[in-house]
Structures are given as structure tokens and as C-alpha cells.
Amino acid sequence: MKTTNQIFTAVLTVLLLLSPAILFAQEEAPKRPEFIAVTTMHWNMDMEDFDMETWKAIEKEFLDKVTMKNEFIMGSSTYLHLFTADNTELVYVQTFASWEDMGKFGDRNTELIKEAWPDEAARKAFMKKRMAYYADEHSDEIYATMPGAKFMAEKPTKDMVTYVRKNHFSFPEDGTQKEFMALKKEGFDAIINKNEHIKAYYPHVHAWGSDRTEYLEAFFLDSMADLDKMYDRNEELMKEAFPDEEVRKTKGKAWRNYFTGVHGDYLYTWVHGLSK
């Protein structure tokens, strides 16, 4: 059945918001995050005594004393530039169970910061030392989680490579929510979930920010070498699932109908030890 752009967008958005994902697989998780807040920061390039290990120690202290104790933050992680357009960027990601929790976590952070550093002078000194690593400018985006995530089997014990692919929805007039989700599930079950090089996979879509067409996919890999292996394995699995070439072409064309054809590729380092 044909639908208008508005109807397709509304149905898709509602569906995505009702189906959040979690970062690590759990047998009995009481809740799953619905929203992901992404803050892109930038290094202070004028800092003369910059030291990566010192920065990590400062952020670890803040993580342990504040973020880990904030009940409104379900998860958090830090990503460093690996191959992106801006070598100064680093990305903070936080997940939340609800929109309401996003409105509460800031006030709770303020309380926890005062508890951790009750002396005002010490508190100001720590925050000054922490913020000295960053430039003043930053940007924020909020995404909604989607069904079809491949969860980490267990929490990583080392840094990982995170490949982010940013696609853009085309909102086709002949598109339907049923077809889109069926194609997505089919591809996930046949390819992503079976690809041993993909340790985790998390899709999410625009919820609040500058571009409502964004559809992001985050792939977690053990190493840069696994990126090529992932692509090769994806191709193998695609042929195994759909051995008939014409069927593969038809499904590929149907999937591409939902996107503009324009995408961006980003590689980050997931920092072990700086995650909740």
C-alpha cells in the first residue's frame, strides 16, 4: 500500500521509539535505553602540557565519582578520533531509559559533583583541570534506539574500533513501515548477526538535532584489520542467504529505496576503562 511521506515518517518514528536497544546483552534486563545523547567535543589544541594518560585518569575519576553513581544515566562511553574529518574531535555517548531521565541527569550530576568534592576550592580546581583539555565549542545530538541490535556478549577488556555509517532516509512515497522493517530484519538475521567479525551492532535514528533524515549504524570490531574482513564476510553471507543473483539485486534495490544514496563513514576508538 502506498503511503505519504508524512505517514511513513510518523509510523517509522513511533515504531523506533518503542523498540530501544541495550549496550550489553543481559538475560533479564529490567529496562532498555530509549535515547542516546551524543556530545561531540574538541581537544584544546593550545594546551602545551597535554598528556593522554593524565586525561584518562581525570576522566576515570569523574566517571567513578559521578557518572557511575548517577541513576539516570544507563550507560556512557567515550570515543576518540581514528579516521574522521576532524582530528580534534572526541565523542561522549550517554544512554537513557526515558526522555524524563535526560532532563534529570544534569541536576543529579551537580549533586554528585558536590558530594565528591565538597570543598569548593578543590571542586573548582578539579573541574578547571578537567575542562582545560577541551575547546569551548561542542555539539549535541539525540538519537532513538532501534530494534535489530547485536549486543556485546560481554564487556570488552581492551580498546575497540567503532565504525559508524551515517545514512540518510529518503522517505519514499511508496515505502511502508512493514516492508522497511521486514527488509531490515532479514538483513540482520542473515548477515549482521552471523558475521563473527562484528562483535556488536547498534542502529539508531534521529530524535532531536539538525538532520531528521539520519540513520546511524555503529559496528564494534576488534581491530582495523577486521573492517575489511567484515565486508568480505558480509558479501559471503549475502550470497549464502540469497544464492540467486536476481533475488539479491531485487532485495538490494528495495532496501536502497529507503535511502538517498549519500552516506558518511567514521572510525573511532572506543576507550576501554571510560565506560559505564
CATH no. for residue 252?
Answer: 3.30.70.100
Q: Report the percentage of the chain scoring pLDDT > 90.
A: 85
Alpha-helical segments (H) within the chain: 5-17, 52-65, 99-116, 120-131, 177-190, 225-241, 245-256
Distance (Å, whole) CA 113 – CA 133: 19
Phi, psi values for residue 209, rounded to 5° = 160, -160
**How many folded domains does the chain comprise?**
1
Q: Report the percentage of the chain scoring pLDDT > 70.
A: 88
| Full domain range(s) for residue 140 | 1-276
Q: For the whole model, what pTM was predicted?
A: 0.86
Average pLDDT for the chain: 89
Distance (Å, whole) CA 44 – CA 106: 24
Confidence of residue 153 (pLDDT cuts 50, 70, 90): confident
Show Cβ contacts of residue 143 under 8 Å, excluding neighbours closer than 6 positions: 35, 36, 38, 204, 205, 206, 207, 209, 214, 216
Q: Could you read off the pLDDT of 62-85 as tens digits, one per residue?
A: 999 999 999 999 999 999 999 999
pLDDT of residue 32: 67
Confidence of residue 120 (pLDDT cuts 50, 70, 90): very high
Confidence of residue 213 (pLDDT cuts 50, 70, 90): very high
Is the per-residue pLDDT at 111 higher than 50? yes
